[in-house]
Amino acid sequence: MKKIAFLTSGGDSPGMNAAIRAIVKTCLHYNITPFGIYDGYQGMIEGRGKEMTYADVDNIIQYGGTILGTARSADFKTAEGRKRAYEFLNQNQVDGLIVVGGDGTFTGATILSQENNIPIIGLPGTIDNDIYGTEYTIGFDTALNTVIDAVDKIRDTASSHHRIFFVEVMGRDAGFIALHTALASGADSVLIPETITDIPKLVEEIKSHNKGRRSTIIIVAEGDDEGNALDILTKVKPHLDGYDLRHSVLGHIQRGGSPSALDRKIATRMGSYAVELLIQNKTGLTVGVRGEQLTTCQISEAIKEHGAPDLAYLKLIELLRTK
């Protein structure tokens, strides 16, 4: 291993910079040249990257986003795009590749590796936490803290106005953010894509727990089977005459901001471990974390399976709901 390339791809997540910093510094420690590629696979296709130094990663651990930039590259899904991408790696004599992102990022790396026999390691970087083989993805914890801060604020206005709020959080296909933030913010109900939403039951729940209370908070994952927060509000509204209903979409504020201690720690440990794995000639793996332990999983398995949230959280939220 003389030169290791790395990129961030898909949606950015807080802690990606901590991972980049750890990759660069670990490479330099082992006299390996770290080669950063800009804007994910799109930058690889367009031949944009550079050898990185300590100075490039000084003072970045505390910043959200990714200093390398990211993209969702449609060109990389074509054989022609991947051919150009590999040519760039080849021209630069890259011996191994580390990708930080979600399922789509891992799928892209796997195809590239199969077509060109290049060693790859994947790091789970997404706020959604929906990656198989890890308890936490880089960025999830920061996103949770951003959401609970927002929900606390929404609760102030909801209580002042005696309102029922539907708060929409990210999670196109996964309810991790919704479930964890509902528990941590003391929300009254939560709607996630992994369970079937029953609108008449929700109406009854709202009527029952709103009785005599100043506010009701319902967290809605954007990908819920009955729709987003506005869709849900529209569906329950005809059955909740006399109630003051509002919705609030938290959107991309969930993806930004300074990473939490947990995200900085796991990103740093995972980034450094990815370099060590390549040095040991390991390939086709994703790095994960279980408790305090770093783990690995076959990248093929991580793509095939989908991380599933613990539905015991849902039961606990129901149990704690005021009757």
Binding site for ligand F6P (CB under 6 A): 11, 102, 126-128, 170-172, 222, 255
Q: How far is the CB of 276 from ligand F6P (least distance, A)?
A: 27
Question: Active site includes 128?
Answer: yes
Tell me the chain's radius of gyration from C-alpha atoms: 22
Which residues, other chains included, contact 3 with Cβ-Cβ below 8 Å and sequence gap of 6+? 32, 33, 34, 35, 92, 93, 94, 95, 96
Out of 128, 130, 141, 188, pick the active-site residue. Answer: 128
Residue 313, helix vs strand vs coil: helix
Q: How far is the CB of 191 from ligand F6P (least distance, A)?
A: 15
Question: Residue 115 is encoded by which pair of tokens?
Answer: 């077509």
- Count other Cβ atoms within 10 Å, centred on residue 252: 10
Q: How far is the CB of 146 from ligand F6P (least distance, A)?
A: 12
User: 207 or 252: whose CB is closer to ligand F6P?
Assistant: 252
- Count other Cβ atoms within 10 Å, centred on residue 246: 15
Q: Are strands 33-37 and 3-8 parallel, antiparallel or unpaired?
A: parallel
Q: How far is the CB of 162 from ligand F6P (least distance, A)?
A: 31
User: 43 or 102: whose CB is closer to ligand F6P?
Assistant: 102
Q: Are strands 49-51 and 33-37 parallel, antiparallel or unpaired?
A: antiparallel
User: 205 or 222: whose CB is closer to ligand F6P?
Assistant: 222
User: 34 or 122: whose CB is closer to ligand F6P?
Assistant: 122
CA-CA distance, 291 to 267, in Å (whole number)?
14
Q: Which residues are catalytic?
A: 128
